[in-house]
Amino acid sequence: MVDGDVSGVSDRQPISTLKGNLMNDLTNSEADPSESDAAASSFQTIKAARSQTEPRSVREKALLEKAVYLAPRSSAQRLPTAQIQSKAESLTMNRREFLTYAWGATLGLVAVQGGVATLWFSYPRFRTGQFGGVFTLTGPLPEISARPDEYLQGKFWWSHTEDGMKALYKVCTHLGCLYEWKDQTQRFECPCHGSRFRQDGRVIRGPAARDLDEFVATVYDQAGTQIDQTTSEKRFVVALDDVFYKIDTGKKILGNPADPALRQIE
């Protein structure tokens, strides 16, 4: 008997053919008849014991391994030697497959480039001094509690309040109309529906339900060091003449809900 190794069996012959040849060798071998009969009897016993529920290919491979193990050495040595197929042969690509892969890669590259171009053109890009970008302001500042400075391109009022400086968005918080500053009443008034706001942006008369929105203002000293910035908790920055302010009209802070106490004053 020989070791149960079928790695030398050629893949070019079906397992059923090899099994038939091996069984013929077991019965017609020139080896000792008693040895061949014993091997054939053992093989039949193992074959009968295999589960019929296994796939045919698995069952045939297992039976062939047992047959090689039980076969006389003279029969096993006559089994054909294996010829391993190289990876280069197994990975051979024909013309149709090459064209398919080439077209697929080209279409994928075009799709990626189109997506990148779409994102590039759809992403908002604002220049300095344009609405949506950053405006740089320097002194002198407007007088405290007086008429704010109006910046038409930036769509904001630069207001000097008792707390500090504010960049108030020029759009009414009711329905989006452009409100105006009234010197007679010293307040902002909306010509559309009559909403009124104080100089610091607080609403004092409806129908607007919240204060004016603000843009983020950042203060820098002459060395370029940031010293103050508008936040949702602190809606003003320090008022100084020897600094410069950057108003980011791309960053808006929504106004707080209207204060009922202020409405009672009006």
| 200-255 per-position pLDDT tens digit | 999 998 899 999 999 999 999 988 899 999 998 999 999 988 899 999 998 999 99
Rounded to an integer, what distance in angstroms lies between the CA atom of residue 178 and that of residue 170?
6
Last residue of a domain, one of 68, 92, 116: 92
Paired tokens of 13: 């012959």
In a domain, 107, yes or no: no
156: which residues sit within 8 A by CB, 6+ positions away?
167, 168, 169, 170, 215, 247, 249
Domain, as residue range, for 207: 134-265
In a domain, 123, yes or no: no
Cβ–Cβ < 8 Å for 195, 202: no
Question: Do residue 84 and residue 155 come from a single domain?
Answer: no
pLDDT above 50: residue 86: yes
Question: Do residue 83 and residue 3 come from a single domain?
Answer: yes
Question: Do residue 167 and residue 248 come from a single domain?
Answer: yes
In a domain, 122, yes or no: no
CATH number at residue 174: 2.102.10
Last residue of a domain, one of 60, 92, 124: 92
Last residue of a domain, one of 60, 77, 92: 92
| 42-59 per-position pLDDT tens digit | 656 666 665 556 677 776
Cβ–Cβ < 8 Å for 26, 100: no
Rounded to an integer, what distance in angstroms lies between the CA atom of residue 69 and that of residue 4?
4
Helix, strand, coil proportions of the chain in percent (round to 5)? 35, 20, 45
Query: What's the pLDDT score for residue 260?
Result: 85
Query: What's the pLDDT score for residue 121?
Result: 65
Domain count, the chain: 2
DSSP 237: B
Question: Do residue 226 and residue 149 come from a single domain?
Answer: yes
Question: Do residue 140 and residue 252 come from a single domain?
Answer: yes
Q: pTM score, two decimals? A: 0.52
Query: What's the pLDDT score for residue 62?
Result: 72
